[in-house]
Amino acid sequence: MRFSEHRRSYTLGGLRRKDLAADPVAQFISWQEQAIAAGLADPTACALATREANDTLRQRMVLMKGVDERGLVFYTNYGSGKATALDACAEASMLFPWNELDRQVSVTGAVARVSEAESDDYFASRPRDSQLGAWASAQSQAIDSREALLAQLAEVTARFGEGEIPRPPHWGGYRLVPTAWEFWQGGESRLHDRFRYALTDDGAWLITRLQP
């Protein structure tokens, strides 16, 4: 089939200003909880867009691991491609594609590392295999083969034995501090509902309906 012929209708309901929370964090948490309740495979997954050191753009999927009034948190290797990009330009965008619900949320803002204590707490909560993986992989660096990667995993597994695994110094969290949110709900005849929350100089959120 021609890709241009692939289309569908968006019929899962509209979005009205009266239904929006005054605070975008509250609105996001409500939608995030609904995405989880709907049984989406990766409801906390989002595309993280960054500007690279050479001024190009790049996106990759990450898992959002926390949200509150301070922003949205994700974790990674500090030597990874995304971390290198954030060192060069500490601004990013996150897009949550809840396609099964005909919804999207995009968030834009500045990004900074979370505290070491916060990274320690989250790392300690991870499954042991994930902890070992954080030590074993030099994320985004070239490697000759999967066998070589498994050898690195075997080495760190033997090193830690049955003991506690500390957080690697090269691994931790980032927090995106939003300056703008957009909530998108699919609508019939492509008349989608879009609302943008923009942070004003006095710290309030200005809500604007956008044309689809």
pLDDT along the chain (212 residues), means of 10: 77 87 98 97 97 93 97 97 96 97 97 98 97 95 95 96 96 98 93 96 96 95
Residue 13's Cβ-count burial label (10 Å; 0-12, 13-18, 19+) is middle
What are the tokens at 3?
């890709």
pLDDT at 142: 92
**C-beta of residue 212 within 8 angstroms of C-beta of residue 193:** yes
- Strand intervals (E) in the chain: 45-51, 57-63, 66-68, 71-77, 91-98, 103-113, 171-185, 193-199, 205-210
Alpha carbons 74 and 61: distance in angstroms, whole number: 11
Catalytic (active site) residue 16: no
pLDDT at 4: 74
* CA nearest to 185, candidates 98, 107, 108: 98
Active-site pick, 58, 70, 159, 190: 190
CATH assignment of 7-125+169-210, given 2.30.110.10, 3.20.20.70, 3.40.50.300, 3.40.50.150? 2.30.110.10
Give the ranges where the chain is alpha helix by DSSP (H). Answer: 24-37, 81-88, 116-125, 128-136, 146-160
Long-range contact set of residues 22-26: C-beta below 8 Å, sequence gap at least 24 = 22/205, 22/207, 23/205, 24/178, 24/181, 24/183, 24/197, 24/205, 25/67, 25/68, 25/69
